[in-house]
Structure 1
Amino acid sequence: MFKKSMTMFILMFVMILSMATGGFAEDLTVVEEMPYYEVETGMSEEIQVAIADVNRVNAQIEAEITAAQAAAATLYANYQSNLAAEENAAAKAQLTAQYETEITSLISQLQLTAQQITLAGIERSNAAGIQSEIAFVDTLFGDRNAKIDPIIVVGW
């Protein structure tokens, strides 16, 4: 009897923990590692404008990531439901191949768009006197991770 009640207690504890963790994640950003820079007193106006531009570029990249993550989640959910409903092995293989093509295309397009945005932002920030570089942020899309490239400020 004691073993059953102890097992029940542990299961209830795990359930309570799993229900509570979602509520604490509300305040987190989509991409936790996305850099943001504060404008400090003592910076020249040109540097302040350049820092604001870097933040705007990183926010634009984060918006692109968010849209791609939503599309990837929909693709993955549809793939999972279609795969579960299908019994034929050949049809399952075709569904998997189609999903792989679509998710790879989605991620590749996002990486290309982010790269273009980042390179344009780096050119503008370097012209304003800010030393900036590309940093890669590991991001989840459906069932796979990809690295996306925001700007980090090294110095000015």
Structure 2
Amino acid sequence: MFKKSLIAAFVAIMVLMMISTSAFAAEKTTMSPEIAQALTEVETVNAAIYSEIAKAQEEAQEMYNQYRSDYYAADDAETKAALTAKYDEEVTALIHELDMKTREMTRLGVEDATAAGVTVEIEWVPVQFPDRVALIDPLVVIGW
């Protein structure tokens, strides 16, 4: 329960940081309604990406906890090796699925932002999973 609250708080903070960054930029430069809409869409895409990351992290943690429990309950090395191989395959598939989903979200976000005249860049950020780190790709606004 604590982990879900922590993840939800992290996502909320990230969304607030993204919103405050564009609000700060809006004060310095006048922008058209199309640019404002595009910036909002970029923030929405990033929030969705971070939400997907949080879901995958939670699922990976549950898989890891189950794996550790089964691993310590196993008596022989063959069973432990099979459990390790199964866990590794499942968590790798989960991370790959997350990566493909976020890449598609990013691609669509870049297309929409570019069409509206906003320059964005893909930023690879390290995401911690229970026993490994993966790079995921949210968007960063460069200018308009």
Letter of the aligned partner of 2:32 in structure 1? S
Structure 1 unaligned blocks of 5 or more: 1-24
Q: What is the 5 A alignment of 1:3-152?
A: 29-30=10-11, 36=18, 37-39=21-23, 40-41=26-27, 42-152=30-140
Aligned pairs, number: 132
Structure 1 window deviating more from structure 2 (44-53 vs 29-38): it is: 29-38
Structure 1 window deviating more from structure 2 (105-114 vs 137-146): it is: 137-146
TM-aligned CA distance change 1:140 to 1:107, over 3 Å: same
Measure the CA separation in 1 of the matches of 2:117 and 2:87. Answer: 44
- Tell me the CA shift for residue 154 of structure 1: 0.8
Secondary structure at the aligned position of 1:102 is classed as: helix
TM-score of the superposed pair, with normalisation by structure 2:
0.84
- Tell me the CA shift for residue 30 of structure 1: 4.9
CA offsets, 1:34-78, max 9 Å, x none? 872423142111110000000000000011001000100000000
Does structure 2 retain, via aligned residues, the 8 Å contact 1:79–1:99?
yes
Secondary structure at the aligned position of 2:90 is classed as: helix
TM-score of the superposed pair, with normalisation by structure 1:
0.78
Secondary structure at the aligned position of 1:29 is classed as: helix
Measure the CA separation in 2 of the matches of 1:79 and 1:26. Answer: 22
- Tell me the CA shift for residue 87 of structure 1: 1.4
